[in-house]
Structure 1
Amino acid sequence: MPTYLISFLATLGGIAFAFGLGKLLGRHQRAAASEFSGQALSLIGGVLLSSFILLTGFQVAGSWSALSTARSRTYDEARALTDVYWASGGLADTDRTKVRTLLMRYTDEVVSTEFPALAKGRTSPAAWRALDDVRNAVNTAATPRSDQQVAKATAQSNLATVYQTRADRAAEVNASMPLITWLALLVAGGFLIAFPAILGLVDHPRNLVGLCFVGAAVAFAICLTAQLNHAFQQPFAVRPTAFTFAEARFHQMD
């Protein structure tokens, strides 16, 4: 199912929910003006709106922070890969060619295989194996000269950074906000939509149209927040741009 169709259907669902409440609860006798003063209605409505905004803001802030962190770490990993590639230039010819070939294979594996797998909630075992091959090639590289020893140590240090950022990415694949916050958000959104209908303020078609707009806005906000909660899934997914850039740098260094 297309990603944006889900948002559209969620919005229609909010409208349908609001319309059903309005038609069902709007048939009851309207609350007498003496029972609810304007200040009381304003206070209750303000509390409901503030609760929904607070919960939505909390969800968006947490999800956006996780999304930004995941994207930043892909660039950290890509920079470390280019540093390994550069450092391998100081190795013997045979080792240099082997390490650089394996680095290019790993980077291509991340772009072509792993990122599609991340969208499904898992990492690529083939990418892990390709990275292990790079580490084995670096560790077994012969370093009879002091400059080659320095190059090997530099490559190993940057390769450790690659492993760290990759492990962080694996941990972020299925990370999400706590379930209780989602339940609270849904409840707050539902009460926000139901509030006018409960008071009998939607017996007129124009008022019902306004309530449907509220339902659409609430449903869209919840759906948007849910989409932000998955760093590697569309439409806000972290893309392999950093690794594509790293591949370009490999060719430049060659």
Structure 2
Amino acid sequence: MSLYAVPLLSALGGVAFAFLAGKFLGSGRRAASGEFTGQAQSLIGAVLLSSFILLTGFQVAGGWSALSSARSRTYDESRALADAYWAAGGLAPGDRSTVRDLLRQYTAAVRTIEFPDLAHGGTSTAAWQDLDRTRAAIGAASAATGARQAARSSAQDSLAVVYQTRTDRSAQAAGRMPQVTWYAMLVGGAVLIGFPALLGLAATTRQLATLCCVGAAVAFAISLAAQLDHPFQRPLGVRSTAFTLAERRFDQMDAEGYTVSAVPRP
């Protein structure tokens, strides 16, 4: 069965029920006289508005949550990269230089190459390769002394966090809200805008201006939800600021000559 079969059948069932109820219950004397027409129209309008608000709220809340999570995870990755860079200071000079150069190379690849790809739901193969080379270099680092062994272990732990946050980012870049909710929003928004006209709205300047404001509000809500559904796409998406910060931390550690194995406390 199609993924959209149940929602579609449910919507058709609601249409059928409404049609039958209107057909048989709306044929009485009081319905024919239009005694309750105003109340019925108000009820239909309120239901349409509530349905659209529910759909829009669901989309915006879900999109905002994904955006906030994606932004937070980039800073988690930035901190883990800085911790790995610090821990690499406790390795042998040759290993330290290799690992730190690879960490810089990975961070630059994410910032300059991967973030444009994330806007389209993809990730950078080059960045993955840089990260794998970094892991291999740490694993091959000398652990002749207890201090160097501790430094290598600390760097490996920090790099594991980088892998985790990077995997989460890949999933967030490709994740989207269900398409059926977008169809429902578009149809609900169109009916909500056209509802006053269906009831016989007079084409006066004042009423048309009011209806245009309703159309603008509905279109803005749908547009906002669509932008939030792409957590790495401009103008609202996550940017590479966290990785720029990581590169600044690398420069700071190099300038101050940090070559100890302990990971600094936040």
TM-score by length of 1: 0.84
Q: Gapped runs of 5+ residues in structure 2?
A: 1-31, 255-266
Partner of 2:182: 182
1:235 aligns with 2:219: no
What amino acid is aligned across from residue 168 of structure 1 in structure 2?
D
Aligned with 2:174: secondary structure? coil
The alpha-carbon deviation at position 36 of structure 1 amounts to 5.1
Between stretches 161-170 and 196-205, larger displacement belongs to 196-205
Give a deviation string over 1:184-235, Cα, whole Å, max 9, x none: 1111111111110110023333212211221121111111110110001111
Identity %: 62
State the alpha-carbon separation in 2 of the partners of residues 120 and 63 from structure 1: 16
Partner of 1:61: 61
What amino acid is aligned across from residue 92 of structure 1 in structure 2?
A
Name the larger-Rg structure.
2
Partner of 1:108: 108
What amino acid is aligned across from residue 96 of structure 2 in structure 1?
R
Compared with structure 1, are the counterparts of its residues 150 and 107 closer, same or farther at alpha carbon in structure 2 (3 Å cutoff)?
same
Higher relative contact order (CA 8 A, sep 6+): 1
Partner of 1:251: 251
Partner of 1:39: 39
State the alpha-carbon separation in 1 of the partners of residues 51 and 198 from structure 2: 18
Determine if contact 1:196/1:202 at 8 Å carries over to the other structure.
no
State the alpha-carbon separation in 2 of the partners of residues 194 and 222 from structure 1: 16
Partner of 1:195: 195
What amino acid is aligned across from residue 225 of structure 1 in structure 2?
A
Partner of 1:204: 204
State the alpha-carbon separation in 2 of the partners of residues 181 and 198 from structure 1: 24
What amino acid is aligned across from residue 218 of structure 1 in structure 2?
V
Partner of 1:49: 49
State the alpha-carbon separation in 1 of the partners of residues 84 and 200 from structure 2: 68
Partner of 2:164: 164
Partner of 2:152: 152
What amino acid is aligned across from residue 99 of structure 1 in structure 2?
V
TM-score by length of 2: 0.81
State the alpha-carbon separation in 1 of the partners of residues 246 and 71 from structure 2: 15
Partner of 2:15: none
The alpha-carbon deviation at position 35 of structure 1 amounts to 5.5
Partner of 1:79: 79
State the alpha-carbon separation in 2 of the partners of residues 246 and 197 from structure 1: 56
The alpha-carbon deviation at position 37 of structure 1 amounts to 3.7
Q: What is the total number of aligned residue pairs between the two structures?
A: 223
Partner of 1:28: none
Determine if contact 1:202/1:211 at 8 Å carries over to the other structure.
no
State the alpha-carbon separation in 2 of the partners of residues 71 and 33 from structure 1: 59
State the alpha-carbon separation in 2 of the partners of residues 64 and 207 from structure 1: 34
Partner of 1:18: none
State the alpha-carbon separation in 2 of the partners of residues 230 and 173 from structure 1: 7
State the alpha-carbon separation in 2 of the partners of residues 33 and 234 from structure 1: 55
State the alpha-carbon separation in 1 of the partners of residues 101 and 108 from structure 2: 11
Between stretches 142-151 and 40-49, larger displacement belongs to 40-49
Determine if contact 1:88/1:151 at 8 Å carries over to the other structure.
yes
The alpha-carbon deviation at position 38 of structure 1 amounts to 3.1
